[in-house]
Structure 1
Amino acid sequence: MAALLAGAIWAGLVGWLLLRLLRQFRTHRNASLGPPPTSTEPLPPVAILVPARNEIGNIDTCLAGLTAQRGLTHKLSIIVIDDGSQDGTAEAVGKIAQDDPRIRLIDAGDLPAGWMGKPHACWQGALQAHTEWLCFVDADVRAAPDLLGAALAAALDQRIDMLSLNPLQEVGSFWERLIIPAGLLLIGCVQDLRPVNQSGSNQIAVNGQVLLIRRDLYFAAGGHAAVRGEICEDKALAMRVKQAGWSYRMLGAEHLARTRMYTSLGTLWEGLAKNATEILGNGPNTVAAATAALVIGWAAVLMPLLAVLAAIHRPSA
């Protein structure tokens, strides 16, 4: 009797989680980036800011995608901010920039007290950009040719001041396949995505891999200088924008950008800690809670399967 009750409770919990995930999936699918503009109306100039630290394995493909953006040939500048790379990233960017005057390499310089590395690099890049729009792109993002055009068109049509985009998350190793899907399930279970894009809501979700923002608003909100010590600087910046009453949206862009964030267990663990902090807060038990969620997430799938297999192989009385 106790086993039946426990099974019923577990089935109810899993069913509730599946229904919630289905609702979240529908919400995300309905909030995806539309097609690139078809009109001949010119797009505004944009500066792409790429903070890079030891990205020798990604920077070539990242810049290849960014320099191929359609409709922005003469209105595009790319600023790569080298944040103390020691693997030849700066040298690789320098060689690429020799053949493309739109690319500029700058050095982030020494990290001041109280600053985290990425906010400092982004801030240094923003100070060098003078276009109407800024677009912060992580060095591991590979952009399709229509990414920026579609993003700018959406921002202009929907009067969006700050736009966060979700690239397709690629996985390769065993640990990536084990942890990243469970992490995405954790986001779907913990965060309600429906209020994120609603005006007047204080709910926030953000993906800092691609962030498009009006330059004047960026500096009015304090930019990355205002979130210099934050682990999750992207979420903190988006929160400042939204609380100030400006328009913020998060849209899916899986069809126009892709990324593989982690290629080793060490970087994967660091990313898990940061994302857990963003979702669950900066408490002492954050990583433990995320690890527990990982175990529970896979248990929801594996336990019923193992029970069926055990029943099949159990000798009949």
Structure 2
Amino acid sequence: INSLKEILYSDFEVFILDDNSTDGTYEKAVKLTENDKQFKILQGKDLPAGWVGKNFACSQLVESADGDYFLFIDADVILSPYAVEKAFGNLAALNLDALSVFPSQKMKTFGEFLIVPLMQWFLLSFLPLNFVRFFKSSAFTAANGQFMLFHKEAYFKIGGHEKVKNCVVEDMELAKNIKKSGMKFAVFTGGSDISCRMFSGFSDSLQGFSKNFYAGFNKKTTAFFIFHIFVQLTTTAFTILSFAVSNYFLLVPQIVNRIAISAITKQNIFYNILLHPLQMLMFIVVGVNSFIQFKTKKNRWKERELNSI
């Protein structure tokens, strides 16, 4: 909320929805925004059957907004004063109908450093961001629900969050729907303008990524495990081989990869190189945990069940 108050963009209003939280969120939001007419605090309705909580919350926010653009951000995202202006600049300059940003991830604990960097490593290693804009196929899609900006017309053309109401990985589905409708979509990294501390500690990080990982493959088990095998063959196998034959030049591509992606995403280069073997192990752990949770119907987030979705 404090970062939103510093935004150097005049013509906007902010709607904050308290989705039946139990930690005093509504009262805190009201106190922080009192006497500020740009902010409106809403209390969420009870979750209807067939909806994922976040999707229903975003749908309620849209009902209250009447602007020409909809910008959805998570409550833990921090924006620089120029973040919104730059996002609109990219939207206009590239003639986009929608865009998404992967915030720079802030980490404090060892457990977070083991898991959180995997998201952007996974994305940037296997799907260059420019491919999302240049290729019309929805197969070349990446998106992050922490920051998504839509033209109002584009949002309603694809049916908004109601169209993906039962999707756990709703950001990807929204982006795919934009591309399937023949509209233009692009994705960016947050740099120093958009940041977020997604999780607090190891267990939070493990559960946070597990709830989305298997679902991100549309729950296609064969594709999910083939991808995992491919990742390990191109990373862990080369690491083991380099030590087995004492040819450490085999490690150079992975080191260069980690340096480049860490620099692009504003992450600690030294930590990511040092922890890379453990991070690849955690890649397996998160994947297996995600698969088991979905198959045993024990997928939860913030004490809310996702199994019926």
Using the size of structure 2 for normalisation, the TM-score is: 0.71
Letter in 2 for 1:103: F
- Kindly, what percent of the aligned residue pairs are identical? 27
Structure 2 unmatched ranges of 5 or more: 247-309
Which residue of structure 1 lines up, in the alignment, with residue 67 of structure 2?
131
Query: Which residue pairs with 1:76 in the alignment?
Result: 12
Give the 5 Å matches for 1:24-35.
none
Residue 248 of structure 1: aligned partner: 185
Residue aligning to 2:117: 181
Asked if 1:142 corresponds to 2:78, the answer is yes
Displacement of 1:241: 1.1
The alignment status of 1:115 with 2:55, answered yes or no, reads no
Which of 54, 65, 68 aligns to 2:3? It is 65
Map of 2:207 onto structure 1: 270
Is 2:118 the counterpart of 1:169?
no
CA RMSD of aligned residues (A): 2.8
Q: 2: CA distance between counterparts of 1:89 and 1:301?
A: 48
Give the letter for the 2:199 counterpart. Y
Shift of the 260–66 alpha-carbon distance from structure 1 to 2, 3 Å rule, reads: same
Task: Measure how far apart 1:242 and its partner are.
Answer: 1.0
Closer/same/farther in 2, CA of residues 87 and 149 from structure 1, 3 Å limit: same
Question: In the alignment, which residue of structure 1 is the partner of 2:38?
Answer: 102
CA distance in 1, matches of 2:86, 2:226: 37
1:308 offset after TM fit, Å? 9.7
Tell me the alpha carbon deviations over residues 176-205 of structure 1, each in whole angstroms, 9 at most, x when there is no partner. 111222343333344454421115232211
- Provide the C-alpha distance between the structure 1 equivalents of 2:186 and 2:108, rounded to a whole number of angstroms: 30
Alignment correspondent of 2:144: 207
- Amino acid in structure 2 at the alignment position of 1:176: E
Equivalent-residue separation in structure 2 for 1:290 and 1:88 (angstroms): 42
Going from structure 1 to structure 2, the CA distance change for 1:298 and 1:91 (only over 3 Å counts) comes to farther
The one-letter amino acid of 1:136's match is F
8 Å CA contact 1:69–1:147 kept in 2: the answer is: yes
Query: Is the CA contact (8 Å cut-off) linking 2:33 and 2:39 kept in structure 1?
Result: yes
Aligned residues: 246
Q: Which moved more, 1:77-86 or 1:274-283?
A: 274-283
Determine which structure has more spread, i.e. the larger CA radius of gyration.
1
Structure 1, gaps ≥5 residues long: 1-62, 310-317
| C-alpha deviation, 1:136, in angstroms | 0.2
Aligned to 1:226: 163
- 1:203-223: CA deviation from partner (whole Å, max 9, x where unpaired): 211111111101122122111
| Post-superposition offset of 1:104 | 0.7
Instruction: Please give the alpha-carbon distance, in whole angstroms, between the structure 1 residues aligned to 2:6 and 2:223.
Output: 40
